[in-house]
Amino acid sequence: MTDRLTHLDEEGAARMVDVGDKPVTRRTATARAVVRMSAETLAAVLAGDAPKGDVLGTARLAGIQAAKRTAELIPLCHTLPLDQVDVTAEPSGDTLVLEATAAVTARTGVEMEAMTAAAVAALTVYDMVKGIERGVTIESVQLTAKSGGRSGDYCRD
């Protein structure tokens, strides 16, 4: 099993993978988080009328900052010199869909950075609206696409 699990050493202990011999390539990843709330709360978010201020702008900045700090949060992630991080938000029914894209030219991918950005952006939305609705839920955080690297491209159906 340890021959398939790259983050385990010969004794089965967690380790950071040595990526020093991997080629430097352009890598991108996109992740999505879905936040469900009432129509009234979503309307306040979209109108910029939430009590704590600009929910979408704050969530966007929180996601970008989180992507830059992923290696501090996820123990076996490499610190990456991110080229770009973008976080967007789109309403869909009674949900807010947050999408984070990260890009890097490096020896390892940016999937965790994109997923961390989406997750923290979603948590920030919750924090910004909990004063008007405690029942807001974060329903999912998932990788939707990646490109570059040894494993090639991936796109969620």
Neighbours of 74 (CB within 10 A): 13
Q: What is the pLDDT of residues 134-154, one digit of tens each?
A: 999 999 999 999 999 888 899
Confidence check: pLDDT of 5 > 50: yes
Q: What is the pLDDT of residues 41-82, one digit of tens each?
A: 999 999 999 999 999 999 999 999 999 999 999 988 999 999
Confidence check: pLDDT of 9 > 80: no
Report the catalytic residues.
127
Better-predicted residue by pLDDT, 120 or 150? 120
Domain definitions of the chain by residue range? 25-148
- Distance CA(110)–CA(123), nearest Å, equals 20
The CATH number of the domain covering residues in 25-148: 3.30.70.640
